[in-house]
Structure formats: structure tokens, C-alpha cells
Structure 1
């Protein structure tokens, strides 16, 4: 069945165009007509932009957002936060996973994300035993994506060790751990769970070099083939030091020397790199998966963006711990971090007269889509995933067309988002997901049950 959405203005690959009519058939964009009036049965939108891919999420961590901001003994860090997260993980069951993920996914759509890369490592029962269906927890994520309408690239995580050199896992990691044989069964079961979800993608995620031995990494790469491969890397200084002690190499150098890293890879965080590592990563064709809000919240450090972009590197953004879900704010933090580090402005804009907001938006969209095995942009054949901005928002008052995205990124944030369509189906109106009330009530009841 074909229907159409008419926008007063739309951000097409060639720029802003007025009076755009987008036909949708089978969830995909068909014909795009420009400079035309709306037809009687058309849905109406104000300013349309493409939906943004969210390339890195741990959905269940939405439930602990705001619960790690009270200082403990000594200095707090990522590692102390991780121990608190492990304690929460012990309480999660499939029902809770779906309720929490549905809340996170509804908020992603409200915040301008239309596809998520779910870096999923919570596989086993609380005692570490495998569920009868190894994809039981993954199926809860698939159900959450189905009920909210969010596109899903599922990235089941292989996790076997607690540190470099194949150290045995810790007790708090029992729900994450697999062997290569059990992971192969899990991966197959995840594919079956995804089979009924429209335009879903399945990838592979070696958790990190500290959690995956070299022979296991090679086996996982072979299993993935051309599908997305995502890995945490060089997020923390301690990780870099441990890698040097184990191999004599820093994590990014070791990975690029020992794996065929290419355009289907996403290196998540990659925060602590030397200039040589930065240039090598950029030239590899892989995507750097950056999560500026979470990286700031956890005190990770700043990605060397200026050098990486200067070398032609691809990147995208993710919401990671989901402490705050806002596509525009992720982009804003990416640029602001560089401004603070370099004491310069408009770092991402590559030349005179270029819009920084537009550069952020396009680069993150293109890189994120590549990392998730998807497409980005309002173009025929692409998934009909788009976001409408409310031109009446004060951030857009008397704003020139060329600065609209700047106003959204640096001023308005998610408050400017009026509607969101996924596969041509409107899921968000007036800034709220259509099922928000029900999802939020179930989420609140779930947390009341879990949090003691």
C-alpha cells in the first residue's frame, strides 16, 4: 500500500528543498517530488530530516541512569561504576529487560534516533546457566523493538575473560560468558528471533580485547563475514596499560595488526590513541563509534576528533549507557568536547562557510548507517525513516535555511522534534511516542520491583 508524507521543507542529499512529497511503499521511500503541493490524503510535516542511527546502546542501563552520581569512597571512575552496574544486572529477568528496553527505545525515537545497534551481552540466567533458548534475553530486546517500532541491528556479544591473556571471568560476569560453541548457538538463535522484525540486521560483537582471546577473535570475525562487527576498545587508560603489559602494543595498534579491520567494523570509543593509531584507524575504513554523553558521564576522556577527521575517518554516535537520550545532544557534546580540548570553535566544519551542525549531522548519519548495515538519508529505496522539526520553536525564529541544523543541534535539542516516522509509519507525534503512557507505566512498575 502506498501513502505519502508532504513536508513544507525537507533536507535532501542536495540540501533543503521546499514542498517535498515523499511516497512510501512497503516501508521504503519511493518517488520524491519537489516543489509540489500536498494531495488531499497526504500526511503533513513541517521540516523533515533523516532519522539518525544510534550505533551503540546497552538498553538495560537506562534503568540505572542517575543512580551512579553519588560519590563513593576514594575516587570514582568507570571501574567503580561498572561494579555497581554488575550488581544491578543480577536482578534482571526477560520481562524486566523488555520493559526497560521499550522505555529506552521509545525515548530514542522521541530523540531522533530511528535505528539502534544493541550491543547485547546479558545472555545467561542470574546463576550463569544458559537459558533453554539461548536468545531468551535477546528476544526481549526484539520484542521491545517491535512494540516501539525502532529498527534494530542486534549485536550479540562474545565475552569469555576478565582481562588480557585469557584471564578467567569474574563472578559478576557470569551472565555474559560464552564459549565459542555456545556463542555459535546463541548467534543462530538471535537470527531466528530477528526473523519477523522488519529490516533487522544481525552482527557480531567481540566485547573487547580484554574479554576475547586472539584465537576467539579470529573465529568471531569468520562467523560474522560481511555483517557488522563491533568491539569496545581503548576506552580507559587502564585498558591501554594492561594491553601494553600483555602484548607490548596499545589496543588499537594490536587490533589493526592482528585482524582484517575494514568498513564493516565499528571500534567503539577508541578514546585513547596515539597520532599513529588515529591515522591508521581512519585509513582502515572502520567507523569510530562515539558516545559523547556517556563518555563524559563516565569520565572516559576525549576522542582525538580533529586529527581523525583530518585523516578522513568515519564516525557515528551512540547513546551507550542511555543516561540521556538525545541525538542532537550527542552531536553537540562531540563538537563541544573538541572545543574545550583545543580551545577552538567549529572544529568539525571542514572549511569556510560550512555549517558545523550540518557537518555533524551528515557525518554521524553516514558513519552510523555504515556501522549498522543500513542506509541514511531521504532517497528512493531507503527505509522511510524521518524526523520532523517544529519550525515554530523559538530556536528557529528568523533563522536562515542554511543554519536550521545548527539551531537544532546547538540550541533546541530534542525539544524541536515534533514527529518521527519509521518505515513510513508515524510513531511520535508532538514529541511523544504513541505508546509512551503504557510503556512508561510498565517501566515504572518494573523499577519498583527491581530497585531495593
Structure 2
């Protein structure tokens, strides 16, 4: 049993002062506001719940900054993708474990306590399955176990290069599955998971999956999360219209039974009708604003979507930068740049931009990852403490703390993180950071010398 005492804490009903939280068996056993600190209490200043990261490709952390040189007159997502294919061709399961552990440690250090790993790198470099088809998934589970982060594993089905069942390109050979092989992969991967890990199904995109294949995939794990890339780039939208006579999100909403178990990742390019319909579906929009900005994807219509009651969560996608606050900040800033206005995603009822975005993203991530969000009895003990002495937090109270953290800090504001009751970050640093960093350095030294 562990007892934590906080000067102030964000609870589901709002901010409360002098809060004692008792942890048992990795879960929150009691929450007591207006409590004086007792002997043995571990004292901290500010508590907020951990967030879920709904979209990660862990191995891409090793690429951060390597694609920032102009390679042709018009660089875009598609030219970046070719560079990514060349990088992943070098990776084996040990490399995946080392790079992903580095990414997961950084996620915990910045306030993400659960990750949805959109895992599509299944095959050996020659395109054949490993002798153990779950070898790459095992590397991801190893990284989650080493760092302590909660995991929602999302094995990806990828069969085609483009709409209409086009044959896969050579650079996609490490992703490719048929339906039978994918079912076996899912079964084997599920057996690797820890007690509170989750499993979902991830049809990669309408480019990579035919309608018949999608229908079959939805039967593999009824009730499990379903994550899919949708409408990230205009070229994808144009190809969908040419093939289906409908845009990707439009087609999914009309034909795939999209509901609360779904997370549509990116959904960058939406018409107003699609925006309203996606909001009404109960699905979560999985937004990755930092990656979307890095790749030049475009701006999600967050203002209209939230006004229509839409649910969203954030992901770190390419892991070019890993930071809860950075994703929420970029989401708001993208709307400001487009609309030439401020406070775009606040409301009269929720005037704090940081407060509104933090709560909404936490609720959406819990839905999309089948996790939990909130310092609540019975929930996993996933708690983040902020440093009250950080310049962006001094003399702030209530949601002004969230505004200061999201818009005024640069990673130094987080002090400690507890994940499933275990303190995995202390003094802003992951408790296994040194060993993780040594392995990561050795892995990158070998990969980048190749």
C-alpha cells in the first residue's frame, strides 16, 4: 500500500485541495479530499491523471530528425514514407525493443501512461513471417514491460498498396498479411500481454484493406477497439473518391458501422458534413498534431468537430517529438493559425483552453484504448505530479495550472509519474532511463552506420 498526499489534485468533479490518494494492487483504493497529511504519506504538490497516447509507431523514434533535409523539389508525406521504408528495412526484433523502450520512457516522462501501438512491422526483411509470427509484437511488449507503460496493442492488417486491392509495393513487404495469417498473429500476440494490457484490431487504411477484408477483420475480436488511418492526405482522399465515389471517412461512416469502438486516426481532410457525422457517430478522432504538422498533412477541423460534440484524443504517431503538452498545444495553435484567432477550442462553460483539451483528450483516449482516465477509486493508479516551482506553474491554481503546463512549459514541469501504482518517473526522469539510453545508443550507432 502507498499513500500519496497532494496540495491540489484534478479529480473528476474538479480541482480539490489537500487530497490523499491510497494505492493498492496497482489501483486507486481511496481518494480523500480536505485531508491533512499523515505520517508516512508521500507528499507532492499537484496531481493530474495520466493521459493515453492513441497512436504510436514506436520504432519511428529512431528516425527523429533524419528526414528533415529536402530530397526533391516537392517533399511531402509520400517522399517521407519512402525514407521510412528504407529505415525499417534494417530493423530486427531487438532493435524494435530498444527503440520502442526509448519512446515509451519519454512518453511516461511527459505524462502519457498508456499507449496504443499501431503495430504493422510484422515480417522479416525478406517479407517472410518470423518462425514465431509474434516476434515483433513480443519486442513491443518487452518495451512496455521494461518501462511500465500501459499497452493497448493494435496489430495492423495491411494487404494492398492502394484502393482496389492493388498489389503491395516492395517497400511494404514487412507489413503484409493475409487474413488467415493475421488471425494467427493476433492470437499469438494476445498471449503475450500483461494483465491490464489490451488488444485491438487495426485495419491500416482503406488503401491497404478491401471492404470484404475489413468486414472479416471486424469479426475477429467483437467489442475490441478498432483503429484505422483515414483521410490523412489529400491524395488519399482523391484516390478514394476515384475508386469508391466517396471520401474515406464518408465511406467508413456509411458502410463500416463506425461507432464508439472506433478510432479514426488523423481524419485531417473532412467536409463539414463528414465532420458533423463523425462527431455524431461516437467514435474518437485520433489526432497527432505534431506529426501532422511535421509531415505537412493539414489541419483537422477541431473547432467545428468539438462544437458538434465530437470526441478526440492525441497520439504521437511518428514520435518526432513526444510530449502530451506539445500535442495539445499544437492542436490549439493550428486552429489559431487557420482562423487568425485565439482561444479557439475553449467555450463559455470551459474558458480554459488547456483544461478543456486535457479533459477531453483524456476521456477520448480512455475510450479508444479501453483504459481509464481519472483519479478515481477503482481505476488504475496512473497519476502525474507537476512541479509547483516550475516558472509556468508558480502561483497558479485550478485550470490555470493546465494552461501554464500546456502553453508555458518545456517538459520540465513534470516531477513524478505513477503507472499502475508504481513510480516510474522521479525528478522528471524515468527510473530505468540510464539503461534504456545505453541500449538505444548502441542500436542507433549500428543502424545509422549501415
TM-score normalised over the length of structure 1: 0.98
Question: 2:187 maps to what in 1?
Answer: 188
The answer on whether the counterparts of 2:424 and 2:431 sit within 8 Å (CA) in structure 1 is yes
Match of residue 293 from structure 2: 296
CA distance in 2, matches of 1:287, 1:96: 31
Q: CA deviation at 1:290?
A: 0.1
Alignment match, 1:97? 96
C-alpha spacing 1:190/1:164, structure 2 compared with 1 (3 Å):
same
CA distance in 1, matches of 2:222, 2:344: 36
Partner of 2:441: 444
Q: Deviations over 1:370-400 (max 9, x none)?
A: 0001110111111100100000011122324
2: CA distance, partners of 1:376 / 1:205:
22
- Distance in 2, matches of 1:436 and 1:198, equals 24
Measured after TM superposition, the shift of residue 228 of structure 1 is 0.4
**Aligned residue in 2 for 1:350:** 347
Matches within 5 A, 1:268-347: 268-347=265-344
Structure 2 counterpart SS, 1:86: helix
Distance 1:296 1:353 in 2: 26
Task: String of CA shifts for 1:160-219, please: whole Å, max 9, x gaps.
Answer: 00000000001110000000000000000110111xx23100000000000000000000
Secondary structure class of the residue paired with 2:182: helix
| Structure-2 separation of matches of 1:35 and 1:78 | 52
Q: CA deviation at 1:42?
A: 2.2
Q: 2:361 & 2:434 partners in 1: Cα distance?
A: 31
Residues 327, 414 of structure 1: 8 Å contact kept: no
State the number of aligned residues: 449
Equivalent residue runs for 1:134-283 within 5 Å: 134-194=133-193, 197-283=194-280
The Cα of 1:89 is off from its aligned counterpart by: 0.8
Give the secondary-structure state (helix, strand or coil) at the position aligned to 2:73. Answer: coil
CA contact (8 A) 1:355 1:406 kept: yes
Query: How many angstroms apart in 1 are the aligned matches of 2:32 and 2:245?
Result: 58
Q: CA deviation at 1:353?
A: 6.2
Distance 1:181 1:17, change over 3 A: same
What is the distance in 1 between the residues matched to 2:253 and 2:321? 32
Partners of 1:119 and 1:205 within 8 A in 2: yes
d(CA) in 1 for partners of 2:72, 2:81: 15
Q: Which residue of 2 aligns with 1:46?
A: 45
Q: Alpha carbon RMSD of aligned pairs, Å?
A: 0.9
Whether contact under 8 Å (2:350, 2:356) holds in the other structure is no
| Residues in 2 aligned to 1:282 and 1:72: alpha-carbon distance in whole angstroms | 38
Cα distance, 1:352 vs structure 2: 5.8
- The CA deviation at 1:347 is 1.3
- Aligned partner of residue 342 in structure 2, secondary structure: coil
Alpha carbons 2:44, 2:385 under 8 Å: kept: yes
Q: SS of the residue aligned with 1:331?
A: helix
Per the alignment, residue 124 of structure 1 pairs with 123
Q: Which moved more, 1:31-40 or 1:109-118?
A: 31-40
Other structure's SS at 1:379 match: coil
Q: Deviations over 1:83-109 (max 9, x none)?
A: 000001110000000000000000000
Q: Return the offset for 1:44.
A: 2.1
Name stretches of at least 5 consecutive residues in structure 1 with no aligned partner.
none
Unaligned 5+ residue runs, structure 2?
none
User: Residue 421 of structure 1 contacts residue 427 of structure 1 at CA under 8 Å; is this kept in 2?
Assistant: yes
- Native 8 Å contact 1:230 1:267 kept in 2: yes
Instruction: Quote the Cα distance in structure 1 between the aligned partners of 2:135 and 2:34.
Output: 49
* Distance in 2 of aligned mates of 1:135 and 1:262: 29
- Residue-by-residue CA offset, 1:390-425 (whole Å, 9 max, x unaligned): 000111223243411110111014210011000111
Kept in 2, the 8 Å contact 1:326–1:413? The answer is no
Is the Cα–Cα contact under 8 Å of residues 112 and 414 in structure 1 kept in the other structure?
no
Inter-partner Cα distance in structure 1 for 2:36 and 2:90: 55
Whether 2:52 is the aligned partner of 1:61: answer no
Which deviates the most, 290-299 or 38-47? 38-47
